[in-house]
């Protein structure tokens, strides 16, 4: 009799739980390598899942065919391409009013991304706006990124760049996508209109034992900023409204031998260059060093000189 009561209790408990979808429908991704397009700066809340530390966030439709992540306005931030693994989507038993997607990216904690619906088809439609099969350079990933860039840039074409002909706009959008900008906006500098782009954090964390600040700045300027300036100048061909280009990038550093010694940090490096000087660089009239000297370089808000030979 006791065993029958226990069996009945278990059956009632299982009946009370939300039904599981079909396996193929429940997990489109099962630790699958994908490209994830998520902007920097989304709100992430530390939690625990089965005793493992995770970071959670939410996403929902932005009402315009895209996705809005918590804490980020999709009309002002361009997503960054991340090569990750994904599992889901699935409806959690303890949170049956939502759908979860688990994302694991190199160098990041496990992310659990929730959307407020338990309709897996609706959730998958949203997920398809920021998760694609294949590497970041795949046509599908690049198409999604170009769509996101075009959306962020469109207000510029409605105001500051309204005079730019349609055939020129696609070239600028492609250039912004190519340099991996996380944001773009107009900037008035010395009474001139500049196009200001945020490139987010540099891809490397530099070892303070191997490279000092002067060397790190020279390396990032030569390897990332100069090529990005060339690309944006090419994208601005025929766009006379813009007189200069401004770029911003974060440079992370730490002591790899003693990571807790207080040396870790993030420097903000900015460069502002008139387009007249960029045109000279494109025509091989000046060197990269001369270009840097003709512009303005700031580190954490203070103007500095950069010697590219010191990298």
pLDDT tens, the chain, 311 aa long:
444 444 444 333 333 333 444 433 456 898 889 999 999 889 999 999 888 899 999 999 988 888 999 999 888 889 989 999 999 999 998 889 999 999 999 888 899 999 999 999 999 999 999 999 999 999 999 999 988 888 888 888 888 888 888 888 889 999 999 999 999 999 999 999 999 999 999 989 999 999 999 999 999 999 999 999 999 999 999 899 999 999 999 999 999 998 788 889 999 999 999 999 999 999 999 999 999 999 999 999 999 999 999 98
> Nearest Cα to 38, choosing from 123, 137, 141, 107?
141
| 3-class DSSP assignment, residue 282 | helix
Q: How many CB atoms lie within 10 A of CB 90?
A: 20
Q: How far apart are CA 286 and CA 205, in angstroms?
A: 31
The two beta strands, 192-207 and 244-254, are: parallel
**pLDDT in the model for residue 165:** 85
Q: Let me know: does 59 contact 36? Beta carbons within 8 Å.
A: no
pTM for this one? 0.78
The secondary structure of residue 295, as a DSSP letter, is S
DSSP alpha helices (H): ranges in 91-225? 120-127, 139-158, 166-178, 213-220
Domain boundaries, the chain: 16-133, 159-310
List strand residue ranges (DSSP E) for 62-156, in order: 67-69, 80-90, 99-104, 110-115, 131-133
Q: Are 25 and 122 in contact (CB under 8 A)?
A: no
Tabulate helix, strand, coil % of the chain (nearest 5). 30, 35, 35
Beta bridge partners of 112: 56, 102
């Amino acid at each position: 009799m006791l065993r029958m009561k226990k069996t009945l209790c278990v059956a009632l408990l299982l009946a009370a739980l939300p039904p599981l979808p079909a396996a193929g429908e429940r997990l489109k991704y099962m630790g699958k390598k994908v490209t994830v397009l998520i902007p920097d700066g989304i709100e992430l809340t530390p939690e625990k899942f089965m005793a493992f530390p995770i970071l959670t966030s939410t996403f929902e439709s932005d009402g315009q065919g895209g996705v809005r992540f918590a804490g980020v306005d999709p009309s002002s931030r361009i997503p960054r391409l991340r090569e990750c693994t994904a599992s889901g989507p699935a409806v959690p038993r303890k949170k049956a009013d939502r759908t979860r997607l688990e994302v694991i990216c190199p160098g990041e904690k496990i992310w659990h991304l929730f959307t407020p619906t338990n309709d897996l088809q609706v959730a998958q439609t949203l997920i398809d706006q920021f998760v694609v099969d294949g590497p970041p350079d795949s046509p599908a990933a690049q198409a999604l990124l170009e769509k996101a860039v075009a959306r962020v840039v469109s207000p510029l074409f409605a105001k500051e760049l309204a005079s730019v002909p349609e055939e020129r706009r696609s070239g600028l959008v492609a250039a912004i996508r190519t340099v991996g900008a996380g944001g773009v906006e107009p900037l008035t500098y010395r009474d001139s209109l500049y196009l200001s782009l945020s490139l987010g954090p540099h891809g490397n964390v530099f070892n303070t034992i191997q490279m000092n600040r002067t060397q790190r700045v020279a390396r990032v300027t030569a390897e990332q900023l100069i090529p990005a300036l060339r690309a944006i100048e090419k994208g601005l061909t025929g766009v006379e409204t813009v007189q200069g280009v401004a770029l911003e990038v974060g440079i992370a550093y730490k002591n790899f031998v003693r990571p807790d010694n207080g040396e870790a940090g993030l420097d903000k490096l900015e460069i502002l260059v008139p387009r007249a000087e960029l045109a000279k660089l494109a025509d091989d009239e000046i060197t990269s060093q001369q270009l840097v000297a003709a512009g303005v370089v700031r580190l954490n808000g203070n103007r500095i000189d950069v010697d590219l030979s010191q990298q």
